[in-house]
Amino acid sequence: MIKRMLIMLVLVGAVLFGIFGFKSFVNGKIKEAMAAMGSQPQTVSTIKAEFSDWQSQLQAVGSLRAVRGADLSLEVAGVVEEIKFDSGQDVEAGQLLLRLRDEDDVAKLKSLEAVAELSQITYDRDLKQFKAQAVSQATVDTDAANLKNNKALAEQQKAIVDKKTLKAPFAGHLGLRQVDLGQYLAAGTAIVTLQALTPIYADFMVPQQALAQIKVGQEVSARTDTYPGKTFIGKVTAINPRVETATRNVQVRAEIENADRLLVPGMYVTVDTKIGQPQKLITLPQTAIMYNPYGNIVYVVDEKKSGDGAPQLSVHQTFVTLGATRGDQVSVLKGVEEGQTIVTSGQMKLRNGIPIAVNNTVEPRNDPNPKPVDE
């Protein structure tokens, strides 16, 4: 019995020894493989840190409106007698655009003018007779009052006749004609829109925190997806003296040159306002930054010589203080010096002291003004 138990214990011990021995052997091999992998250079892309001109900008989305724009209509009703414009035409201030049928009003005006002329003749005759003491002062006063009344009636009728015609209140570009010959127009019916397109206003909102940085006369640049790659230059002309209580934003207006009239009212634009003075700052692609709760870091490339004189590259982490961003770039205020080589991609497999191999065949985007591209 004791012999069997000893044999069983020996067998169990042999089995356990074999299991633990095999596990130790496997762990050793894994450590060797990991060590071998760790010593293999990791492929990354890099960039050399350099100073560049950095102009801080405040970006906002705005809407375009004409310096002068109106939907033209008439104060009085009538039938369209004559149309003197075409859709899309450029017109000058005071140019005749449309006339309503006005024969009855013109005839009435001529009648009132004739009455006013007769009143003038009567007044002049009675005034001479008054000087000869042939009529009384009351007669002259009555003639003077009649003269003023009849002239006023004629002027009133002339104003009614003038309201039968539509003239351009300012120079601009006409839109689409909304009426036709012979059509009856009620008072206030829209006839055509008139817009002055050169220059043009861009209205946009900025947060109240930025109010101290916005000044009248500051340069702005506007972009719209209607014309990719094209920038329109202007300047701030007015700042609303009231902050919107609902959004705590303030409205700003910029005037943009629009000599080629590519911009039209109602478009939305992205407005960049230059704030502060230009600075020299080190800029890196945003992909070079590893953002962490405890601080942002970059990997700096170190170069050493091996025993045979060949360069050996490795990396070390360094904390950085970041500034503003623009496009694909971010400004670095502290932590990176000019001329240092910084890793821009492949950081996830890096740690301090690990060897690297540089391959810049494919580089991350580093454009301060990137443009959307369909790929």
Fold of 40-55+278-358: 2.40.420
Provide CATH 2.40.30.170 ranges for the chain.
Answer: 58-67+192-274
Least confident of 134-138, 190-194, 300-304, 351-355: 134-138
CA Rg value for the chain: 43
Please tell me whether the overall predicted TM-score, pTM, comes out greater than 0.85 for this model: no
Give residue-wise pLDDT tens across range 20-49: 766 776 677 666 655 555 467 888 999 999
In the chain, CATH 2.40.420.20 covers 40-55+278-358
With bands split at pLDDT 50, 70 and 90, how would you rate the model's confidence at 361?
Answer: confident
Q: What is the pLDDT of residues 248-283, one digit of tens each?
A: 999 999 999 998 899 999 999 999 988 877 788 888
**In the chain, % of residues over pLDDT 70:** 89
Closest CA to 80 of 105, 107, 99: 99
Q: Going by C-beta distance under 8 Å and a sequence separation of 6 or more, which residues neighbour residue 118?
A: 150
Residue 294 confidence (pLDDT): 87
Strands 96-100 and 172-174, how do they pair?
unpaired
- What superfamily in CATH does domain 58-67+192-274 come from? Efflux pump adaptor protein, beta barrel domain (2.40.30.170)
In sequence order, which residues have a C-beta less than 8 Å from that of residue 373 and are 6 or more positions away?
none
152-158 long-range Cβ contacts below 8 angstroms, 24+ apart: 153/112, 153/115, 153/116, 154/109, 154/112, 154/113, 154/115, 154/116, 157/105, 157/108, 157/109, 157/112, 158/109
Q: Does residue 156 sit in helix, strand or coil? A: helix
Q: State which of 2-11, 225-234, 298-307 shows the largest mean pLDDT.
A: 225-234
Considering the domain delimited by 102-163, tell me its CATH architecture. Answer: Orthogonal Bundle (1.10)
Using DSSP, state whether 199 is helix, strand or coil.
strand
CATH 1.10.287 domain position(s) in the chain: 102-163
Cβ contacts of 318 within 8 Å, gap of 6 or more:
297, 298, 299, 300, 335, 336
